Structure 1
Amino acid sequence: MADVLVLGDSHSNYILAAVRSAMPHVSFIGGQLPLGSGWQNAFFSGPDPLRFSRAEAQQKFEDWASEATGRRVSSLHEVDIPILFSLSNIEHLVHSWMWTKWSPVSSVDRDFLSEEVIREVVHSFYAHNLAFMIAVKEGGARAINVVSPLPRISNSDRVPVHDAVRKVLQQFYDTIGIPLVDITDETRDSVSGALDPQFASTMANDKIHGNSQWGAVMAEHLVPVIKGLI
């Protein structure tokens, strides 16, 4: 049995370790689902039953959820404990080729995109992802999601894109009533505006992940939200 189910992308690895350390009397189970960039594709079927389309991901979910609840579970709607998601996936849009031509800030070599256009881009790019979260909420789940780390590179439009995207996502999550925990400002380098190096992964060629310190800051902000749902 467990108190909280964790389901997410690769960022969930640091988050899970950190919340376990921050809340030793709370039992967490779960982790990264084998979907890769599939979080932007048709990764679920539903809304009832709400299941993952990829067999490996559905099996991991069923194993974790069944162990967490003490009974056999095959649909997310059958989970009666809080679910901590890590699937904002901002980095996949931030690193898109489109920002070589367009930008959410004024630029001499790129066309400016208004907040309204950014909103349309976000809702189109994340359409399946957002539909999944709506289905989760409408199924009655007590869910939380998190914002993925800032880009490390400041000499491009990636930082303003991240900020523009997270603003739209925050508005969406506020509307559907799921907490979206965002530590962008707490982990931002005060000079460059990008991810502070102390919070960045040191793995070779890793441009998108935080580290255990990033996870610790995220856990600090997750603790009161989780306590409010248990």
Structure 2
Amino acid sequence: MNTAPRGLAVVTGGSTGIGLATADALGQAGYAVIAASRRLATTPSTPTGVTTHELDVTVADSVAALERTVAAHPAPLTLLVNNAGIPTHAASIADSDIDDWRRTYETNVVGAVQTTQALLPHLVRNRGHAVFIGSTVGRVPYERGAAYAASKYGLTALVQTLRLELNGQPVRVTEIAPGMMRGDEAGGEFMRERFHHDKDAIAAVYQGVEHPLTPEDIAECVVWCATRPAHVDIDLIEVRPLAQAAQHKVHRTN
């Protein structure tokens, strides 16, 4: 097992998309990596040096099992990437499903809290770093996306409060907030869920945008933040494709 000079990194939601790309990039950067996710059976080929762990961030026993795996690992935990999250169906507030709101908040916010609580003692002990994958929609919402936006606003509040509460302790706290993104199967899954598998609605989002962000773009941001000197804390990175000046200002070629 790779003990890695940089220590151990845990990436939640690590089976696809940003999570998988981040696990791969961190492994290449010298970390031992645990890619934790719900659906190991459908995980694509796991990058070299990355081990997998079954995790549902909404289930306390599942998170406790992850903590035990971390405690038993030969490398000290120095990095937690809270990436696990789910989309919501596109719907107006008037027409949205309340269970969709609950499910989204439970995963995107409470799941991140639960995982952070379980692993924070390791991060404090090892002068570690907690990174949270947010979204630009956590600052500027869009129509028919209130449930998802509210969860990302909540995640931003979590990040900012955690940084205040840890002030004086040797733990860095970072939020990375991507804008328009289209990547591998995970990116496709997100949009299919949001638009009820309506291919025309999904295509319209990206029409005329030649280069949206990719999971690898965000993984590179994670690695850069994590590998700054220990006294440098990158509070927030908002990252968008060049074509997207703001949530509702996108240059399209056609």
State the shift of 1:227 in Å: 8.2
Native 8 Å contact 2:23 2:35 kept in 1: no
Q: Does 1:203 align with 2:185?
A: yes
Q: Does 1:214 align with 2:212?
A: no
Partner in structure 2 of residue 84 of structure 1: 79
Q: Does 1:6 align with 2:9?
A: yes
CA distance in structure 1 between the aligned counterparts of 2:108 and 2:217, rounded to whole angstroms: 28
Partner in structure 2 of residue 116 of structure 1: none
Q: Which runs of 5+ in 1 are unaligned?
A: 46-50, 69-78, 103-107, 111-118, 189-195
Partner in structure 1 of residue 247 of structure 2: none
Q: Which runs of 5+ in 2 are unaligned?
A: 37-52, 97-104, 192-212, 234-254
Native 8 Å contact 1:137 1:176 kept in 2: no
State the shift of 1:151 in Å: 8.2
Structure scoring higher RCO (CA < 8 A, sep ≥ 6) equals 1
Residue deviations 1:18-48 (CA, integer Å, cap 9, x gap): 3455x4xxx2112313234x22221344xxx
| Closer/same/farther in 2, CA of residues 41 and 135 from structure 1, 3 Å limit | farther
CA RMSD of aligned residues (A): 4.3
1:18-33 map, 5 Å:
18-20=25-27, 23=29, 27-33=30-36
Matched position secondary structure for 2:122: helix
Number of matched residues?
171
Native 8 Å contact 2:81 2:132 kept in 1: yes
Q: Does 1:176 align with 2:166?
A: yes
CA distance in structure 2 between the aligned counterparts of 1:158 and 1:225, rounded to whole angstroms: 37
1:31-46 map, 5 Å:
31-33=34-36, 34-36=53-55, 38-42=56-60, 43-45=62-64
Q: TM-score, normalised by structure 2?
A: 0.50
Partner in structure 1 of residue 127 of structure 2: 142
Q: TM-score, normalised by structure 1?
A: 0.54
> Which has the larger share of helix?
1
Residue deviations 1:137-159 (CA, integer Å, cap 9, x gap): 56x23222222253899542255
> Which has the larger share of strand?
2
| Closer/same/farther in 2, CA of residues 164 and 214 from structure 1, 3 Å limit | same
Amino acid at match of 2:154: V
Native 8 Å contact 2:108 2:155 kept in 1: no
| Closer/same/farther in 2, CA of residues 207 and 44 from structure 1, 3 Å limit | closer
| Closer/same/farther in 2, CA of residues 203 and 132 from structure 1, 3 Å limit | same
Native 8 Å contact 1:88 1:145 kept in 2: no
CA distance in structure 2 between the aligned counterparts of 1:159 and 1:130, rounded to whole angstroms: 20
Native 8 Å contact 1:134 1:176 kept in 2: no
Matched position secondary structure for 1:39: coil
Q: Percent identity?
A: 8
